[in-house]
Each structure stands twice: as structure tokens, then as C-alpha cells.
Structure 1
């Protein structure tokens, strides 16, 4: 991804499980809210995709990956999915507070 605008966020990883899912399955997310969400929303005007998603490059520790953030209905922020590959590489999981740098292309 091209070097664009950077946004740093520190947030806690949380796990979403479908109602009928096994206890060990689910999706890990990080919430982006407050001032950071407002700044990202402004920076991405005219560049949103399906469901209001915004393409970003995310970095936690030494791990970078291309992904999208998605609007969060409650609170007006965004959610960032944290892939298993990233969690394993960085030794992080549900409940851990992490610093993520998001770059908009």
C-alpha cells in the first residue's frame, strides 16, 4: 500500500461469537472509536467501499497486513478484524490491549 495518512489507536481485542458457535470459534476485533474514528472518517471521505468499509494497511508490532475497517453501529466508530495469523505472530488474543497503526492509502 502507498504511504498515506497514519492513525494510531490503542484498544483491547474482543471476541465475537455467533449464537450457535462452538466455544473456541469466533472472530477477533479491535474497536476504533472517539477522535481517531472521527479523523479516519474525515480522511476517508469519498473512499468508502461496501457496507461503509475503508481499506487500510494495519500494523501491530512487526506484523503488517492489508484489510478493511467496518463501521460499528453502536457508538459510531469502526471495528478492525484481527486475523489468526496476526494474533499468532504477535502473541496476542482476546482481552489484550494492543497498539495498532492504520494507514489509509
Structure 2
């Protein structure tokens, strides 16, 4: 297991930001750990590249900072691989900070 790996449960939310999207809201209790791990790999605006696994689905994306924590984008391709995903669902997430698979 990587020292940059975090595992947690996250609620699926809808946020109509620059583009309407579904996100997994990272628990606020992990925000400081993510900031510390991501400080060396952040590429601007606080975005942090990650590899995520939800169920059997693995995908790469970047965490977006929001309200003191982060959001994990659930792109259409990722949602198709995960299975039915909707607002209010809770997902078990494994996240590798600053890596890609």
C-alpha cells in the first residue's frame, strides 16, 4: 500500500460549477492530509492529480478544492465503469495522490 493512498467513504453530490457534474465529496477530516500529500504535485488552483478506485473501476483525474476540502470528479466514463451512481449515494473510494496507473 502506498503512503499516498487514502481510503474513505464519500457522498455523491451535484455541483453546477463551470460544468454540471457529479462529484464524490471528500470528507473534511482528510483535507489536511490531502493538502500535505498533494503540495508537491499540485499543478495550479490547488488541483491535485490522483488515481482513484471505486469498486473495480480505476480512473485518473484531479481533485478540485472546494469549501476547505476537495471534490473527486465522477466523469461519465468513470460512472459507467462504477455502475449506477446518483446524487446521495455513498461510495467506498481508494485514492492515490499524485500518481496515475
The bucket for the TM-score relative to the shorter chain is 0.7 to 0.9
**Uncovered stretches (5+) of structure 2, i.e. residues with no partner:** none
Check conservation: 2:10, 2:27, Cα contact below 8 A.
no
Partner of 2:8: 9
What root-mean-square deviation, in Å, do the aligned CA atoms of Structure 1 and Structure 2 show?
A: 1.8
Distance 2:82 2:60 in 1: 16
How far off its partner does 1:4 sit?
Answer: 5.7
Partner of 1:98: 91
Query: Equivalent of 1:31, from 25, 28, 35?
Result: 25
TM-score, scaled to structure 2:
0.82
Partner of 1:89: 81
Distance 1:84 1:47 in 2: 25
Paired residues for 1:41-52 under 5 Å: 41-52=35-46
TM-score, scaled to structure 1:
0.79
Larger Rg: 1
**Uncovered stretches (5+) of structure 1, i.e. residues with no partner:** 19-24
SS at match of 2:45: helix
How far off its partner does 1:30 sit?
Answer: 1.1
After TM superposition, which residue ranges in structure 1, 4 or more long, deviate above 3 angstroms?
none
Check conservation: 1:87, 1:93, Cα contact below 8 A.
no
